Amino acid sequence: MFPTVGDQLRETRRILADVVAPEVRGDYAVAALDDVLATLRVLEGAWDRVLPFLHWDNAQTEHLLDRTDVDADLAERIAAARAAGPPDPVDFAAVHRRNLELRALLAEVVGQLGPDASGVTAHLRDRIARYPMTATSSLPQRG
């Protein structure tokens, strides 16, 4: 299907850069427009990798939620979330809602287990490295 989302983002960015930017005055307005252009550039290059990323993150987060060392209430809510099963794989909004639900449960797991939440730090590092909507990001590596 043409134009693609990427095509539309690229053209929007081009219009802002070529037509609007020369007319913008003032340091604050110029800086704001530069930020908008940078955001559009990231979206243009990454929008099509967000859904696969969410599928990967959901699967990894579900694996991290497979625990027996949390209280009964949290264990029950984790079981209910898992029983609901995955959403329609092409429904972005549903996959995103699932991601938010699983990550909220994982935050509760970490809250209960603290530093003993094995695997979570490694997952979060991997998640940051894979997140497609970030131009640059990194965490310090442990030696």
Contacts of 78 (CB under 8 A, 6+ apart): 65, 67, 70, 105, 109
- Of 58, 47, 55, 17, give the one whose Cα is nearest residue 133: 47
Global model pTM greater than 0.85: no
In 47-119, where does DSSP find H-type helix? 50-64, 72-84, 92-113
Structure tokens at 97: 């809602």
Task: Please report the pLDDT score of residue 135 as a whole number.
Answer: 62
**Would you state the pLDDT for residue 116?**
72
Computed over every residue of the chain, the mean pLDDT equals: 90
Q: Which two tokens stand for residue 6?
A: 């990427």
Mean pLDDT for 83-107 is: 96
